[in-house]
């Protein structure tokens, strides 16, 4: 092997090893969160492989970050998992789901979590970490607003799913379902990460990135649904493939939306180059990951 090729191979391998070491440290922190809040994370679906996949995803999406810099993104992603499981699988009424969302929104705004409520206690821990960062006093309201938007989308989907299972109403259109992609939680995680790492300078910069992230989130919703269809059928969850569109159409829509995302990101690259790269890597990594599996363990 020529010396320059060998050097490049070794350098690439070393970089991949470094990224994996960051992911290992991230996974250990997530394991500590699961041990601290065991009521939130039944196994299955939250097993060691899921924690590993989550930590690997953030490490490869933002390979310039240290494990400490990825801690908030990892924990926010894990909290979304807990919130999603609570609302989707443990709550039996819209009133209870709404009360859960209301409690989370209050804690995000600074209220104390209720005793024994591990979901809001974990969220309060994330908020406490963010509140210690330089940007939170100026940008924390956007973090709170996005949490509200995510939870509103979760409640809307909860109602759709309940109506479907009880045959009480027509299913949403594929367009309405995709417009509700905030329930996926990616944009809230992204905002958490950008505030935690001081990745933006102004509210204008963050708002522009969030607008692009909304479109990215729609692509993630589509590729997730393609990967999770069989699980969703078994669990009684909604999936875009249940809404009158076929797999080929959904794949093409994901490709078209991804192209739109890149066009939206192009003009942002001059002001926020690393964050634009981050969102492009979110698209690429997630599409590749869901091509072979998804995060949830079988149940």
With 80 as the cut, is the pLDDT of residue 3 above it? no
Residues 6+ positions from 286 with CB-CB distance below 8 Å: 57, 219, 220, 223, 224
Using CA atoms, how far residue 201 sits from 20, 32, 85, 280, in Å, is 29, 32, 34, 20
Q: What is the pLDDT of residue 283?
A: 97
Confidence bin at 191 (pLDDT 50/70/90): very high
Q: What is the pLDDT of residue 86?
A: 96
Our separate counts of H helices and E strands in the chain read 11, 0
Q: What is the pLDDT of residue 170?
A: 82
Q: What is the pLDDT of residue 297?
A: 54
Alpha-carbon dihedral angle through residues 59, 56, 141, 114, given to the nearest 10 degrees: -140
What is the mean pLDDT of the segment spanning 42-50? 94
Q: What is the pLDDT of residue 206?
A: 97
With 60 as the cut, is the pLDDT of residue 291 above it? yes
- Are 170 and 128 in contact by the 8 Å Cβ rule? The answer is no
With 90 as the cut, is the pLDDT of residue 236 above it? no
With 70 as the cut, is the pLDDT of residue 271 above it? yes
Domains in the chain with CATH codes: 14-290 (1.10.600.10)
Question: How remote is the C-alpha of 37 from its chain's centroid?
Answer: 19
With 90 as the cut, is the pLDDT of residue 182 above it? yes
**pTM to 2 decimals?**
0.95
Using CA atoms, how far residue 290 sits from 29, 103, 229, in Å, is 24, 32, 12
Using CA atoms, how far apart are residues 184 and 178, in angstroms rounded to an integer?
10
**Half-sphere exposure at residue 98, Cβ-oriented, CA atoms within 13 angstroms:** 5
Using CA atoms, how far apart are residues 29 and 33, in angstroms rounded to an integer?
6
- Phi first, then psi: what are they for 170, rounded to 5°? -70, 155
With 80 as the cut, is the pLDDT of residue 117 above it? yes
Q: What is the pLDDT of residue 38?
A: 98
Q: What is the pLDDT of residue 47?
A: 95
Kind and range of the H or E run holding 253: helix 247-265
Q: Among 81, 74, 94, which Cα is nearest to 46's? A: 81
Confidence bin at 299 (pLDDT 50/70/90): low
Listed in order, strand segments (DSSP E) in the chain are none
- Are 195 and 140 in contact by the 8 Å Cβ rule? The answer is yes
pLDDT tens-digit series, residues 122-149: 999 999 999 999 999 999 999 999 999 9
With 70 as the cut, is the pLDDT of residue 298 above it? no
Q: What is the pLDDT of residue 112?
A: 98
Q: For the chain, what is the mean pLDDT? A: 94
More confident residue, 82 or 231: 82
Q: What is the pLDDT of residue 93?
A: 94
Q: Write the Ramachandran bin of 198: left for phi over 0, alpha for psi from -120 to 50, otherwise beta.
A: left
């Amino acid at each position: 092997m020529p010396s320059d090729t060998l050097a490049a191979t070794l350098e690439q391998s070393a970089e991949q090893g470094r990224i994996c070491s960051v992911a290992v440290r991230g996974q250990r922190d997530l394991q500590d969160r699961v041990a601290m809040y065991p009521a939130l994370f039944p196994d299955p679906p939250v097993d060691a492989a899921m924690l590993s996949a989550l930590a690997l995803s953030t490490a490869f999406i933002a390979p310039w970050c240290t494990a400490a810099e990825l801690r908030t993104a990892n924990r926010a992603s894990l909290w979304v998992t807990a919130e999603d499981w609570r609302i989707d699988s443990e709550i039996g009424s819209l009133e209870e789901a709404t009360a859960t969302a209301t409690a989370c929104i209050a804690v995000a705004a600074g209220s104390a979590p209720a005793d024994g409520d591990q979901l809001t206690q974990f969220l309060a821990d994330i908020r406490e970490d963010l509140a210690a960062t330089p940007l939170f006093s100026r940008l924390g309201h956007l973090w709170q607003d996005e949490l509200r938007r995510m939870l509103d989308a979760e409640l809307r989907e909860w109602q759709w799913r309940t109506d479907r299972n009880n045959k009480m109403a027509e299913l949403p259109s594929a367009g309405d379902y995709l417009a509700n992609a905030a329930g996926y939680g990616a944009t809230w995680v992204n905002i958490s990460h950008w505030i935690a790492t001081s990745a933006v300078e102004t509210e204008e910069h963050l708002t522009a990135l969030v607008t692009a992230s909304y479109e990215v989130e729609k692509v993630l919703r589509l590729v997730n649904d393609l990967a999770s269809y069989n699980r969703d059928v078994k669990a009684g969850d909604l999936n875009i493939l249940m809404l009158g569109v076929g797999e080929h159409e959904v794949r093409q829509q994901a490709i078209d939306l991804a192209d739109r995302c890149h066009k939206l990101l192009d003009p942002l690259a001059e002001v926020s180059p690393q964050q634009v790269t981050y969102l492009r890597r979110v698209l690429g990594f997630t599409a590749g990951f869901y091509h072979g599996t998804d995060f949830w363990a079988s149940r």
